[in-house]
């Protein structure tokens, strides 16, 4: 069994609570309150800035050229493409770039992003990618899960573009590449190391749950 599947299996209750969160369900059904989605989008912008720092840290933590280039590609994609696309998407939802730049970080945003950075600083490249996995791989899985649900609305759903973005072949391939790297770095782990990584994965997954809850409850 791959490292990713092992981690999900060990953290199944938390993982299910994340993938099938009420925020996700309402988004798929098209019933999520507009202000909840807007709050999520605003904080996700701030998350992406810290996520870019995590990719920079991945370059520093890499011990071979292939891993460095992989992390560099992730950083370039974030800074040159993804953040710009997110700003445009926020604009479509009535959120200006000036508003995004003036936003304070919500407590859930600080907790999650700094946890990821701390995992990378305190650990090695595998620790960092395990902490990133619930975001990168989880969003790909959420999009697939939503596409399979009979009550997910695709037509006339204001959030369908979000579903399509993470269901796209491009994003699914990016997630597959991340999974391959995770599994390559996590080969033949002793039980103690696997247990430590399980703790990192579980904590990051709980941070993702808190991020959804932040959007649902409009908390700062």
Domains in the chain with CATH codes: 3-217 (1.20.910.10)
| Total number of residues shown for the chain | 220
The whole-angstrom separation of Cα 142 and Cα 205 is 13
Q: What is the pLDDT of residue 214?
A: 96
Q: What is the pLDDT of residue 67?
A: 93
Q: Is 11 annotated as catalytic?
A: no
Active-site choice (36, 105, 135, 178): 135
Q: What is the pLDDT of residue 1?
A: 82
Q: Is 208 annotated as catalytic?
A: yes
The whole-angstrom separation of Cα 50 and Cα 122 is 17
**Residue 197 burial class via C-beta count within 10 angstroms: exposed 0-12, middle 13-18, buried 19 and up:** buried
The whole-angstrom separation of Cα 41 and Cα 36 is 9
Digits of tens for pLDDT over the chain (220 positions)?
A: 899 999 999 999 999 999 999 999 999 999 999 999 999 999 999 999 999 999 999 999 999 999 999 999 999 999 999 999 999 999 999 999 999 999 999 999 999 999 999 999 999 999 999 999 999 999 999 999 999 999 999 999 999 999 999 999 999 999 999 999 999 999 889 999 999 999 999 999 999 999 999 999 999 8
Query: Is the overall model pTM greater than 0.85, yes or no?
Result: yes
């Amino acid at each position: 069994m791959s490292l990713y599947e092992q981690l999900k299996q060990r953290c199944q209750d938390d993982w299910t609570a994340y993938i099938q969160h009420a925020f996700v369900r309402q988004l798929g059904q098209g019933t999520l309150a507009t202000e909840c989605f807007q709050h999520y989008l605003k904080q996700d912008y701030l998350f992406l800035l810290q996520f870019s720092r995590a990719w920079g840290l991945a370059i520093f933590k890499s011990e071979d050229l292939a891993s460095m280039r992989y992390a560099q590609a992730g950083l370039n994609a974030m800074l040159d493409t993804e953040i710009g696309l997110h700003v445009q998407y926020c604009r479509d939802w009535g959120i200006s770039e000036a508003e995004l730049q003036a936003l304070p970080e919500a407590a859930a945003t600080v907790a999650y992003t700094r946890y990821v950075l701390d995992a990378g600083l305190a650990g090695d490249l595998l620790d960092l990618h395990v902490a990133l996995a619930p975001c990168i791989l989880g969003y790909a899985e959420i999009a697939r899960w939503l596409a399979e649900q009979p009550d997910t609305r695709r037509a006339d759903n204001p959030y369908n573009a979000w579903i399509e973005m993470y269901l796209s072949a491009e994003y699914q391939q990016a997630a597959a590449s991340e999974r391959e790297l995770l599994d390559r770095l996590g080969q033949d782990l002793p039980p103690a190391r696997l247990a430590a990584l399980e703790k990192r994965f579980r904590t990051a997954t709980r941070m993702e749950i808190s991020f959804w809850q932040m959007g649902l409850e409009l908390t700062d």
